[in-house]
Amino acid sequence: MTYTHDQIAAAIDHAILKPDFTRAAVDAELDIAAQWGVFSVCVRPSDIPHAVERLAGTGVAVGTVIGFPHGTTSTATKVAEVRQALADGASELDMVLNIGWLLSGMDSEVEADIRAVVAAADGHIVKVIFETSYLDDDAIVRACRASEAAGADFVKTSTGFAGGGATVEHIRLMRANVGETVQVKASGGVRSLDTAVAMLDAGATRLGTSASATILAEARAVDEGAAATGAVDDSSY
């Protein structure tokens, strides 16, 4: 498929999650998100109020992470994080499922953990991070089923902090094992236009990346090149 620059931008959650980011570094990343018109930023919980204020009027949504990056905090702690994040102005929540529970075959506990976060989110978007680099295909399928049963809006590959990241094969597997109402987010290693397009073609509808400027500059160059040659009426990648 082909995608315009604007279509790709509308699929990007710009990640601003590095633990060593200073306030100046966070501001630089927020400005990149606004400049390129991405769908949202995903910031550290403590940065939510500042991000909401700085991005006011830009149309860029502010999301955050829950139980990040290991997923091992208690369900009660995740619920408390959700409530604080929403109070601070976050509109989307990317939670890490309890990876150890999943690998132990404790699927009902994994589902209950997700369900509690979904309930606390009170209608806000919840994306469930699997950390696919730790999982075999069977575990990924079980995570898909638990997430959908718990009412999650998205299933997501990775935190970006565990080595490995999104693969086309995993995106296809996740897409095949959730219903039409559940979307798929590719995150981890999405750093070029070619990779972004491959993930979208495989079934992802959202891309988590810190390389938004690189990806969108490539997309814009393709658009401009196509427009200059008159190859297409509506230039796209």
Q: Which residues are catalytic?
A: 94, 156, 185
Write out the H or E segment, with its range, that includes residue 184: strand 183-187
Neighbouring residues of 149: CB distance < 8 A, sequence distance ≥ 6: 111, 115
Evaluate the CA torsion angle 74, 75, 80, 86 in order and state its sign.
positive
Neighbouring residues of 11: CB distance < 8 A, sequence distance ≥ 6: 39, 196, 200, 204, 205, 206, 207
> Do 79 and 112 meet the contact criterion of CB atoms below 8 Å apart?
no
How far apart CA 175 and CA 158 sit, in angstroms, is: 15
